[in-house]
Amino acid sequence: MDEKKLQDLLKLLQINNGDLTKLNAQQRKDMKDYKFWKTQPVASFDEKIDTEGPIDATKKPEDIPDDPYPLLNEFEWCNINIDDSQQLQDVFVLLNENYVEDKDAEFRFNYTPEFFNWALKSPGWKNEWHVGVRVKQTQKLIAFISAIPISLQIRGKTITSVEINFLCVHKQLRSKRLTPVLIKEITRRVNKHDIWQALYTAGIVLPSPVSTCRYTHRPLNWSKLYDVGFTDLPPNASKAQMVAEYTVPNKTKLNGLRPMTMDDIDEVYNLFEKYQSRFDLIQTFTKDEFKHWFLGHVEKSNQEQDVKKKIVFSYVVENKETNNITDFFSFYSLPFSILKNPTYKELGIGYLYYYATDADFEFNDRFSPEATKKLRKRLDELISDALILAKQANMDVFNALTSQDNTLFLDDLKFGAGDGFLNFYVFNYKAFPVTGGLKEDKSYDVEKRSNVGVVML
């Protein structure tokens, strides 16, 4: 299957550029000449890491300036109040029109107020960490960057941190060098709260990745993808063959599968924490954070939401004999707008989020052939049903990274390897490499899998 349209969008979203682990001489030279990152507390490409820990641990909040970084005279800083409908509108108009668009201007990420309420208002969120730049004369929002508080864990060591996301500058102003100033300003604001590390992702190679994962894609509605020009018909294949290849069943198969509810929180939380402990790079959640991320920032319970406005979908499998929850999985929705098609206006895109299962808990070595076989079988069953539920929620493509234990099911469930990659970075922290589910040739590593257990939006 030709996934060129999807790859173009993902490349733009993550600024992908090919090989992310082995740099040629020109790439290394370019990085050495990269003025901004040379000034930041990040590990250099050739730096040998002997121990993990902060790069600069000397500063204190009182050492950080109280005043924001200077901007060009025609611009001014602002805090974006997500609770204000007009300011929220300003953000999603900026991102919808400037964050990503394929080169033919046919598809665009379609952010909604519901998505931003979920993504930017996790417990502990701060208004001052939703940073905008406006034109003084017109008050038009022309740039944005955000941070949310997270508890990061690297090989068992907990690090108070933030997640940086939604960095966007209006496409007509990208020559104004606003991006470095946005990064420095959000860093200043976070530092004032005595937080010195940040998790962020990018497709470009920056100094220096902790891990690299690959994007994979599973068509759910091949006919629609073809009709809107999102994919091409492969050589020596018919439309009917492609539709048949990617058709999913109408009904789920797992006994005891149902939407997760508030009553499940304690049990699922414990299952999730135990499963996550196997990975080297994770985000740990409080129970309030767990409720937010997996039941959504809404007043109604998940099963009562309008599916068109629903962002996160979480399900559990309950053993009917013991009444214990044995499995959990989730995915979220971030659709594309279709700009030039007379029939279709939106393309449904699902993203695999977090999951957990007790399938291999009985084994001391989760990499043993017996444990791997059992986990693979269970993940095939779980994610197969996730694909069916995503299709029922009007999603046309389902995306996953090679993170977590995903490499066990990607081939089995017909996920195609994309040519987009995602780098994980930790600001002001040196860390040994974390496996991302990839071999040297960038194919799936089913044997070693991935030790990345964190999922960023």
Q: What is the pLDDT of residue 4?
A: 47
Catalytic residue among 13, 23, 173, 457: 457
Q: What is the pLDDT of residue 11?
A: 47
206 belongs to the catalytic site: no
| DSSP code for 428 | T
Average pLDDT over residues 223-252: 92
Structure confidence by residue, pLDDT tens digits, 348-386 = 999 999 999 999 999 999 999 999 999 999 999 999 999
Contact present, 197 and 40 (Cβ < 8 Å): no
Range with top average pLDDT, 27-36, 85-94, 299-308, 405-414: 405-414
Pick the CATH number of 212-430 from 3.40.630.30, 3.65.10.10, 3.40.640.10, 3.40.50.1820: 3.40.630.30
Range with top average pLDDT, 22-26, 163-167, 276-280, 439-443: 276-280
78 compared with 205, residue with greater pLDDT: 78
Give me 98's structure tokens: 């400037």
Could you write out the DSSP letters of every residue in 316-383? EEE-TTT--EEEEEEEEE-PEEESS-SS--EE-EEEEEEEEE-TTTT-S-TTSHHHHHHHHHHHHHHH
- Around 97, how many Cα atoms within 13 Å sit in the side-chain half-sphere? 13
pLDDT band at 101 (very low <50, low <70, confident <90, very high): low
d(CA 389, CA 70): 49
pLDDT band at 215 (very low <50, low <70, confident <90, very high): very high
All CATH 3.40.630.30 domain ranges in the chain, comma separated? 4-207, 212-430
Q: What is the pLDDT of residue 100?
A: 58
pLDDT band at 98 (very low <50, low <70, confident <90, very high): confident
d(CA 189, CA 173): 23
Average pLDDT over residues 218-247: 92
Contact present, 423 and 206 (Cβ < 8 Å): yes
CB-neighbour burial class of residue 255 (10 A; exposed 0-12, middle 13-18, buried 19+) = exposed
Contacts for 280 with CB less than 8 Å, ≥ 6 apart: 154, 155, 434, 435, 451, 452, 453
Q: What is the pLDDT of residue 111?
A: 85
Q: What is the pLDDT of residue 67?
A: 96
pLDDT score of 103 more than 70: no
Q: What is the pLDDT of residue 177?
A: 85
39 compared with 270, residue with greater pLDDT: 270
- Around 368, how many Cα atoms within 13 Å sit in the side-chain half-sphere? 10
Average pLDDT over residues 143-164: 96
Angle at 110 between CA 108 and CA 115, to 5 degrees: 150
Q: What is the pTM of this model?
A: 0.90
Pairing of strands 197-202, 157-169: parallel
CB-neighbour burial class of residue 429 (10 A; exposed 0-12, middle 13-18, buried 19+) = buried
**Lowest-confidence segment of 6-10, 148-152, 208-212 by average pLDDT:** 6-10
Average pLDDT over residues 65-82: 95
H or E segment to which residue 422 belongs: strand 416-427
Structure confidence by residue, pLDDT tens digits, 228-237 = 888 889 888 9
For the domain made up of 4-207, the CATH class stated in words is: alpha beta
- Tell me how far CA of residue 238 lies from CA of 248, 249, 397, in angstroms: 18, 21, 20
Structure confidence by residue, pLDDT tens digits, 287-323 = 999 999 999 854 444 445 567 789 999 999 999 899 9
Residue type, 320: K
